[in-house]
Amino acid sequence: MIIRSTSILSFLLFLVVSAKKFKEEEKPAWAKKDIRDYSDADVERLLDQWEEDEEPLEPDELPEHLRTQPQISLDSFVLRIKDTDPEELMKLTKKGRTLMTFVKVAGNPTRQETEELTKVWQSSLWNNHIPAERYVIEDNRAIFMYKDGSQAWIAKDYLIGEERCESVTIDNKVYEGKHFSKVSTQSTKEEL
């Protein structure tokens, strides 16, 4: 432990000496302190100095919250709005952004059945070049997360066509599965 803390201290000392182009009399008060007396704020300032001469990250390497939102040309969209459904606008606004969808499995599956079924669906999406992460949250529900949110609607079209898919929810809009109807749910409730 002594060797490790000594090497960290020597590294920090190296950073202090070589980080800024200050002459000894121009150094700020925090830089004149002994390195062992540095506070967290001092170390943070030292890190900022260290990184100030680095080249900025490429836009695709930035964390998602720092990326610029894709620009949507509403002029060209307005011309086509009569022929286009509202989902097209949603696809454009979600492009390049992370989006989660909720998938509900029909019937009364166990958690294991839901796990296996959604794993097959996830593999099918990956095979069609739609990367999706999958998280089972209940016995009959799972979250599918897409790094490019515009792909969620393509995945939705696939998922609602599956026999055991009850519904897919994207941005609080529920899309019923093609093999599942509200009538079958109501008749099941009436039988109970």
DSSP per-residue codes, 44-78: HHHHHHHHTTSPPPPGGGS-GGGSPPPP--HHHHH
Q: For residues 179 and 192, what is the distance between their CA atoms, to the nearest angstrom?
A: 22
Classify 28 as helix, strand or coil: coil
Using only C-alpha atoms, what is the Rg of the chain?
Answer: 27
* Beta-bridge partner residues of 165: 105
pLDDT at 183: 44
Q: For residues 148 and 129, what is the distance between their CA atoms, to the nearest angstrom?
A: 11
Q: Which residues of 67-102 are buried (b: 16+ CB within 10 A; e: fewer)?
A: eeeeeeeeeeeeeeeeeeeeeeebbeebebeebbbb
**For residue 3, what is the DSSP state?**
H
Strands laid side by side in the 173-176 sheet: 132-136, 141-146, 99-105, 165-170, 173-176
Q: CATH 3.30.70.260 spans which residues of the chain? A: 95-191
Residue-wise pLDDT tens for the chain (192 aa)?
444 555 666 666 565 555 455 555 677 776 778 888 888 888 888 888 887 777 888 877 777 777 777 666 666 655 555 556 778 778 878 888 899 999 999 999 999 999 999 999 999 999 999 999 999 999 999 999 999 999 999 999 999 999 999 999 999 999 999 987 654 444 444 444
pLDDT at 95: 85
Is 169:102 a contact under the CB 8 Å cutoff?
yes
Short-list 21, 70, 11, 16, CA closest to 45: 16
pLDDT at 6: 57
Count of positions (residues) in the chain: 192
Topology of the domain covering 95-191 = Alpha-Beta Plaits (3.30.70)
Q: For residues 153 and 91, what is the distance between their CA atoms, to the nearest angstrom?
A: 7
pLDDT at 187: 44
pLDDT at 55: 81
Task: Kindly report the pTM of this predicted structure.
Answer: 0.60
